[in-house]
């Protein structure tokens, strides 16, 4: 008679199968043969099977990008010293003017912040930049400010009380412009900056294309009407300056917002924005800085 022990469980059978297989197989084969007896759900992932160990080995650590432009050493330019900011903008300006001379259409689609800040050949280019971009003309944030936009602007001007009472000149007189001008990469970034500086509780001129048309913006910058702070994009600021609406007669600081967008670009590395920024600086900002030393420049 043939007796079958029904009490034997699957693991016992698997174990017996393993013992039988071990007679003709080596160590590695034994392990594979043993696991072949088990259910797939119970089978542990081995290194060669693309298991958890493989996932850990293959997964690359993503480098967290700074939300602000960085120099060649990865330092946050917006929170850096006046010396770092000066070198950064001097190199940017020299590159932009050089590219314009060669034909903007021939310029690369974009420059990285590292290329702009790179000292390799950068010192030569920086030497060609105007003295208005020298270190003494920069307003660098103090350590206690951190990344607080409102506090940065509050301390950048001569008087916060004057900012709150600003009117941009007497009604019927000449346009004197805003006390603070912030230039941003895009209209979307402008909106973010408006939220960041809301704690100042002052009027702000919204000088970018998606908010209102140029005619309405010209009117908002009239004598006795100009808000103390203006936030805009390079192209729109340049247009308003060309139309005589935006003047820097009493402006105290021109701020380059160096936020890095989802594409990894800043206002100085995006081709279109950087060209307009350089031209606005060349045509409007630097001539005013040359006339008087009471206007500063900053990167935030």
DSSP the chain: -----TT--HHHHHHHHHHHHTTT--HHHHHHHHHHTS-GGGSPPPGGGT-HHHHHHHPPPPPPPPSB-B-TT--BGGGS-HHHHHHHHHHHHHHHHHHHHH-GGGS-SB--HHHHH--TTHHHHHHTS-GGGSGGGB-PPPTTTTT-HHHHHHHHSS-HHHHHT--SS-TTS-----SEEEE-SSHHHHHHHHHHTGGG---EEEESTTTS-HHHHHHHTSTTT--SEEEE-HHHHHHHHHTT----SS--EEEE--B--TTS--TTTBHHHHHHHHHHIIIIIHHHHHH-TT-EEEE-
Mean pLDDT of the chain: 76
Asked if pLDDT for residue 29 goes beyond 50, the answer is no
Mean pLDDT over residues 83-94, rounded? 94
Pairing state of beta strands 253-256 and 180-183? parallel
Identify the pLDDT of residue 181. Answer: 98
**For 229-279, how does the pLDDT look when each residue is reduced to its tens digit (9 = 90+)?**
999 999 999 999 999 999 999 999 999 999 999 999 999 999 999 999 999
Instruction: Tell me the per-residue pLDDT of 107-140, one tens digit each, with 9 for 90 and over.
Output: 444 454 555 544 344 455 555 689 999 999 999 8
19 pLDDT more than 70: no
Q: Which of 5-9, 54-58, 243-247 has the lowest mean pLDDT?
A: 54-58
Q: Which position has the higher pLDDT, 71 or 189?
A: 189
User: What's the pLDDT at 103?
Assistant: 47
Poorest-confidence range of 7-21, 23-37, 166-180? 23-37
- The mean pLDDT of 31-36, rounded to a whole number, is 44
Question: pTM here?
Answer: 0.71
């Amino acid at each position: 008679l043939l007796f079958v022990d029904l009490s034997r469980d699957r693991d016992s059978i698997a174990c017996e199968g393993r013992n039988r297989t071990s007679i003709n197989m080596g160590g590695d084969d034994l392990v594979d043969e043993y696991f072949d007896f088990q259910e797939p759900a119970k089978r542990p992932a081995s290194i060669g099977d693309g298991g958890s160990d493989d996932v850990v080995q293959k997964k690359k650590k993503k480098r967290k990008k700074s939300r602000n432009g960085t120099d060649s050493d990865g330092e946050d330019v917006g929170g850096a010293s006046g010396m770092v900011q000066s070198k950064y903008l001097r190199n940017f300006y020299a590159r932009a003017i050089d590219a314009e001379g060669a034909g903007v259409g021939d310029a690369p689609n974009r420059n990285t912040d590292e290329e702009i800040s790179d000292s390799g050949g950068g010192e030569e280019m920086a030497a060609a930049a105007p003295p208005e971009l020298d270190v003494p003309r920069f307003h660098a944030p103090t350590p206690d400010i951190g990344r607080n936009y409102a506090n940065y602007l509050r301390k950048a001007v001569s008087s916060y009380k004057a900012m709150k009472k600003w009117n941009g000149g007497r009604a019927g007189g000449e346009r004197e412009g805003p006390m603070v001008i912030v230039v941003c990469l895009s209209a979307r970034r402008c909106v973010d900056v408006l939220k960041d500086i809301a704690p100042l509780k002052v009027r702000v001129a919204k000088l970018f294309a998606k908010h209102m048309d140029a005619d309405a913006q010209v009117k908002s910058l009239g004598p006795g009407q100009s808000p103390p702070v203006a936030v805009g994009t390079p192209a729109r600021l340049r247009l308003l300056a060309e139309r005589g609406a935006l003047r820097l007669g009493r402006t105290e600081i021109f701020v380059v917002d160096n936020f890095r967008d989802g594409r990894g670009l800043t206002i100085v590395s995006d081709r279109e924005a950087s060209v307009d920024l350089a031209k606005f600086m060349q045509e409007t900002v630097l001539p005013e800085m040359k006339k008087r030393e009471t206007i500063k420049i900053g990167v935030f």
